[in-house]
Every structure is written in C-alpha cells, then in structure tokens.
Amino acid sequence: MALSTSSRLIQTLGRETFLSPFTWSVDGWPLANEGKLITLDMWDPNLPSQSNVSKVLVDDFSSPSLQLGWEFRATPSRPWWRIENDSLILRGTVATLSALDVMALVLRKQDALFYDFSVDMSFNPTLPTHEAGIVAWVNDLYHNTISLVQCQDQTNATCLRILTNVGERGGEFDGNTTTIYYPLPTALSNTTQSKSAASLIRLRGWLLTMNVVSPGKALEWTCGSRERALLADF
C-alpha cells in the first residue's frame, strides 16, 4: 500500500495498492525497484508478459436502483434523486461543490490514470444560480467542473461553463478559481423556443490534466431555485 503521486506531489488516485520488484541489499534491507524511484512501469524479468485490458462501464439507468460503484457525499435532508424512464433524475440543493455536505452529487471513484467519462443530459437553467453537469472532484477545495448554466449576457441562453477551483491549500495557486463560458449552438441552447439544453458532456483525463470534448443529448436533470446537481468522477 502506498500513496501514488505525480511529479508535483499531488495524488490523483489516492492510496493505491501496487506491486514492485524488490531485491535484498548487501546489509539485509529490501530494495523496491532496485532502490530506484517507484514509477508507473517497473520491469521484472520474472513476470509473464501481458497486455492492458480496457474496462468500459455504461449505465443506462434501466434498473430501478443504481449500479454498485455509485456513491454519495453526505445525505441531504430531503430526497433529491430517482431513476425513472431509463434516466437518473437529480434535484439540486442549495449547496455548492465547496460545501462540506448536503450537495446533490453522485460520485464514482476514479480507478485509472487514463479514462474517458461522459454523460448525456438535458437541463433547463432558468435562473443564474441553476447548474448541472459533471465534475472531476477531489474535495470541497479542489475540483474541475463542466456544467450547463445560464449565459451571463442576459439572453437566457444556455452556456457550457468550465470551472477550475483550487482552494486554500493549493500552495502557489491559493484561492485560484478560473471560469470560462462557451455559448451552446442555437439548436441546443435554451431560448424561448426551446424547453431544455440537450448535450453530451465528456471528460477526458490523464494524470492531472482534464480536457473537455463536446455537446449532444438525453439524461434528465431537475433543479429548483439556487440549486445545483452534478454527476461526478473523483
């Protein structure tokens, strides 16, 4: 058992169990990886060769209960999620992702350094405080969010918002929050002729890098005043 770190000493997967080749030193101490740094790939001539196997998880919410592997962050005082018509429907709460509890957040552990994560969703933000989307979430201080919100141009159109939040323990990045808004195409955006913005939001990540990929259609979200609902990978 060990804590895996990047070159900037920030863990990406938390505590990980791994195997390392080791030898004995002349004075009787075990040397992991011949006394060199622990890396993602360590060579051992005694191990059989093997190829990496891709693991794909798809949840179409056709079951009346969530699949094993989904988790929640604390418990709101009222029910805020349900499965209906092959959709996961979330009702937001007033808590933001910087809160310590009662947030409408469905989580799944990040179990690989390289992965794609996406969600089909439809959402109609009718107030500036409405938000729904996905997040790479470490904790209340550190998270990257891709979400649908009202644009800031007073048109009631829907924007894709990308937010990176680095909290007070972020060293040289103390208190840094970066936000970018991208207006959705007219056909997808919430205008007076459109009931909801339908989009495919995808996270592609490796190590500490997260890239946004694109817009498409389907999973439902519901939100009340000042409420947020997010599906997460962390």
Give a three-class secondary structure readout of 24-70.
ECCCCCEEEHHHCCCCCCCCCCCCCCCCCCCCCCCCCCCCCCCCCCE
What are the pLDDT digits (tens) for 50-109? 777 777 788 888 998 888 888 887 766 678 888 998 889 888 888 888 887 778 888 888
149 neighbors 130 (Cβ within 8 angstroms): yes
The DSSP output letter for 93 is B
Mean pLDDT of 193-210: 46
Q: What confidence score (pLDDT) does residue 214 get?
A: 35
For the whole model, what pTM was predicted?
0.67
Predicted pLDDT of residue 213: 36
Kindly give, in sequence order, each residue whose CB lies less than 8 Å from that of residue 140, ignoring residues fewer than 6 positions away.
97, 98, 99, 100, 167
pLDDT at residue 126 greater than cutoff 80: yes
* Mean pLDDT along residues 137-160: 83
216 and 121 in contact (C-beta within 8 Å)?
Answer: no
Mean pLDDT of 42-55: 77
172 DSSP 8-state letter: G
> Could you read off the pLDDT of 207-217 as tens digits, one per residue?
333 333 333 33
> Could you tell me if 205 and 211 are in contact, meaning their C-beta atoms sit under 8 angstroms apart?
yes
Residues 223, 234: Cα–Cα separation, whole Å? 23
Residue 26 has pLDDT above 80, yes or no: yes
- Residue 8 gets the label, from left (phi > 0), alpha (psi -120 to 50) or beta, of alpha
**C-beta neighbour count of 101 within 10 angstroms:** 12
Q: Which CATH number fits domain 70-233: 2.60.120.200, 3.40.630.30, 2.60.40.1180, 2.40.50.100?
A: 2.60.120.200
Phi and psi for 35 in degrees, rounded to 5? Answer: 80, 5
pLDDT of residue 184: 77
> Cα–Cα distance between 82 and 40 in angstroms, integer?
39
Q: Mean pLDDT, to the nearest integer, of 109-134?
A: 82
The arithmetic mean of pLDDT across residues 15-21, rounded, is 75
Give domain limits for the chain.
1-50, 70-233
